[in-house]
Amino acid sequence: MQQQPQLFKDASQHALADATLRTNFRGAMDFLRNKRERVLDDAEFSSLSAQCEAIKQRCLSQLPALLEQLETRCQANGIQVHWAETPAQANEIIAAIADGCNATSAVKGKSMVTEEIGLNDYLGARGVECLESDMGEFIVQMAHEPPSHIIMPAIHKSAAQIARLFHEQLEGVDYTEDVDTLIGIGRSVLRGKFRHAHVGISGVNFAVAETGTLCLVENEGNGRMCTTVPPVHIAVTGIEKVVQWLQDVPPLLSLLTRSATGQPITTYFNMISGPRRPGEKDGPEQVHLVLLDNGRSNAFADEQLRKTLQCIRCGACMNHCPVYTRIGGHAYGTTYPGPIGKIISPHLLGLDATRDLPTASSLCGACEEVCPVRIPIPQLLQRLRAEYRSDEEGVMSGAGGGRSILEAGVWAGWAWACEHPGVYRLLTWIAGRMRSLVPWLPSAWKNGRTMPVPAARSFHHRYQQRKSRP
């Protein structure tokens, strides 16, 4: 996927004008929110989210040591561990593993990190067909589109659009909008691919440092097929997914599934602890783990921005965001859309490229209220806005890129006026007298809003008049 957050404003305007897209998202978001409400009461959510926040913060505070422990335990289990600082390095590592087993085909379970590094296109250019096996990912891959939601990739499509896609792209498939029939068709196509794939690729939901165990959460069974049927399994994950102990996983899993899809538990929970042992009848002959940084170390270095890494990728913030609900995921132009994408993407792509994303929020706080690990997304958005305008060196690429001498001068003058009551009163008096000119001033504010007009008399003036009345 070519990430283009620079086009966010134009893309969001286009999305707002698409009535079908808005209808699809409105219905899907309402459905997910209602399901979540049915399985999570406020008291339990408050208690569990506090526990999950503490777990993630404890693990992140020890991140370097836990990553080393994870590597040691995985190697002891027979898992080969690889480190990648950039997406390019991650792709090179995965391609080298595929070359090592003469692979020409791979099946992939749902993984946002592999979307982040553009793995499908990279392998495809080297003669390795990489087929998505998650049904939603299978649909968007067939449509040559990126996922629009981190949990439900094809949620922007209606049943009719999917039916038309299957009819046009799959040989011998009649047009039908019956969902069960469409799922059956997809499964029959994928079943043959699993049998003949040389490599299986998956993400990782939790990597347990204590035991060297890779945990994978899924509903369709495709993740288990990807990690057990092909002779080589490659797991790809960001470095923030490591947890200290196995006992850290149950509370995180409990809130992940209920926050994401409103399910008490997912259909499959896979715990991968190594390749096939002698005497075992199934499982891969090789297991590789690729640990990706890609800007995460920058977030880790700053105590406030480190909270970004607490995310467990449930997508609840998207389902409750008034902006995401109206424009969908593609308008953001990034792998991770919605509120969480606005705070992750600047670390991955730099603040210059993502400058419009932190401002695409009303700061209503709905995302923070439903976050299972209590990420203070509104506060982090304000921090990123300030970083982009700051004249001080920041921790991430592009910090200070939006600083304007004129804007800084205006704010400095405003601050000076506020510190001098006589000057402030004179300026408000002048503004009140010239208020009729304000609607005629050129301003981008008027593109979608009514221009605010200063009051004829300031509050201070009216208060003084009231006090002087007998």
- In tens, the pLDDT along 115-132 reads 999 999 999 999 999 999
In percent, the amount of the chain with pLDDT more than 90 equals: 80
Helix (H/G/I), strand (E/B), else coil: 400: coil
Same domain for 278 and 414, yes or no, is: no
Same domain for 282 and 425, yes or no, is: no
pLDDT value at 393 more than 80? no
| Mean pLDDT along residues 423-451 | 86
Tens digits of residue pLDDT in 138-165: 999 999 999 999 999 999 998 999 999 9
pLDDT at 442: 83
Domain with residue 138: its CATH number is: 3.40.50.10420
d(CA 186, CA 430): 69
Q: Which of 298, 317, 340 is the last residue of a domain?
A: 298
pLDDT at 130: 94
| Mean pLDDT along residues 342-346 | 95
pTM strictly above 0.85 = yes
Same domain for 271 and 410, yes or no, is: no
Same domain for 146 and 263, yes or no, is: yes
Q: Which of 281, 298, 315 is the last residue of a domain?
A: 298
Residue 1: pLDDT band (50, 70, 90) is: low
Do the domain assignments include residue 114? yes
Lowest mean pLDDT, pick from 364-373, 382-391, 392-401, 412-421: 392-401
pLDDT at 413: 94
Between 287 and 442, whose confidence is greater? Answer: 287
Do the domain assignments include residue 375? no
Do the domain assignments include residue 95? yes
Tens digits of residue pLDDT in 61-82: 999 999 999 999 999 999 999 9
Do the domain assignments include residue 20? no
pLDDT at 303: 93
Between 451 and 326, whose confidence is greater? Answer: 326
Do the domain assignments include residue 238? yes
Same domain for 284 and 139, yes or no, is: yes
pLDDT value at 394 more than 80? no
Same domain for 424 and 288, yes or no, is: no
d(CA 288, CA 236): 8
Same domain for 75 and 205, yes or no, is: yes
Same domain for 233 and 117, yes or no, is: yes
Same domain for 293 and 415, yes or no, is: no
Tens digits of residue pLDDT in 215-274: 999 999 999 999 999 999 999 999 999 999 999 999 999 999 999 999 999 999 999 999
Residue 430 structural domain: 405-468
Please give the C-alpha separations between residue 378 and each of 72, 301, 305, 364, in angstroms, as whole numbers: 38, 20, 12, 8
Do the domain assignments include residue 82? yes
Same domain for 285 and 424, yes or no, is: no
Do the domain assignments include residue 54? yes
What's the number of domains the chain is made of? 2
Q: What residue type is 38 in one-letter code? A: R
Q: Which of 298, 328, 347 is the last residue of a domain?
A: 298
> 72-101 burial, b if ≥16 CB within 10 A, otherwise e?
ebbeebebebbebeebebbbebbbebbeee
Same domain for 286 and 427, yes or no, is: no
> 391-408 burial, b if ≥16 CB within 10 A, otherwise e?
eeebebbbbebeeeeeee
Average pLDDT over the chain, rounded to whole? Answer: 93
Do the domain assignments include residue 123? yes
